[in-house]
Amino acid sequence: MQIDAIIAAATQIADDAGLDEVTLRAVGSAVGVSAMAVHRATGGIDALRHRLIAAVVDEAISQVHWPQSDWRATVEVFAYGLRDLLMRHPLVLEAHRKASLDTPRADDVAHRVVAALASAGLSPEQAAYGYAAVHDFVTGHVAIRLGRGDHEVLTGDSERLAASVFVNFHDPDARFDFGLRLLLDGLFASARRNTDVAQ
């Protein structure tokens, strides 16, 4: 049995219906084999779910083209790449709510972003928390978009619509761009303060 076919079927089920719907029976039915055959091929449901998450994350990371020397561009590539991955595969966000992404490539990305922030002049602590701030901003943004939909405000009742501060400004991409820019500007300002103190 092709393990790639099992992972692909499990990923499709998770994206369509949620990670909890990835069962041995459901995956077996999707690929035309028994639940026991899926169990034997994957080592069980927990191993299968972990494997599909790792496969999705590692595939996305393998397609990233990292800048060589620009710390800000590195952080932007990370932020936009994570946003696109989570929007395309909500199962990753669902799994990430329960535990950190336990894949070597995800760890490599985190260290790359922290190193980029450190190269801008942030202390090791600031660089780690800076990475966390960008990461948390992205996951929070995606969680809201997936939970409410992009047009949540615009489709509400007229009284709610009139009261919303977003009635004239409800572009989720512009919202993301602006928020990320604020974060990066703040990180740059922190790095500048470190430089000024050191001089």
Q: What is the pLDDT of residues 100-140, one digit of tens each?
A: 777 778 899 999 999 999 999 999 999 999 999 999 999 99
Q: What is the pLDDT of residue 19?
A: 87
**The CATH number fitting domain 64-198, selected from 1.20.1290.10, 3.40.630.10, 1.10.357.10, 3.10.450.50:** 1.10.357.10
Q: Which of 135, 145, 139, 142 is nearest to 166 (CA)?
A: 145
Helix axes 45-62 and 90-98, enclosed angle (nearest 10): 120
Dihedral of the alpha carbons of 28, 90, 83, 131, in degrees to the nearest 10: -90
How much of the chain exceeds pLDDT 70, in percent? Answer: 89
Q: Where are the domains of the chain?
A: 1-56, 64-198
User: Does the structural domain 1-56 have CATH classification 1.10.10?
Assistant: yes
Q: What is the pLDDT of residue 104?
A: 78
Q: What is the pLDDT of residues 1-44, one digit of tens each?
A: 588 899 999 999 988 888 889 999 999 999 999 999 999 999 99
Pick the more confident residue, 14 or 99.
14
* Fold matches, 1-56 and 64-198: no
Determine if residue 103 is left, alpha or beta; phi over 0 gives left, psi from -120 to 50 gives alpha, anything else beta. beta
Q: What is the pTM of this model?
A: 0.82
Q: Is 176's pLDDT higher than 60?
A: yes
Q: Is 158's pLDDT higher than 80?
A: no
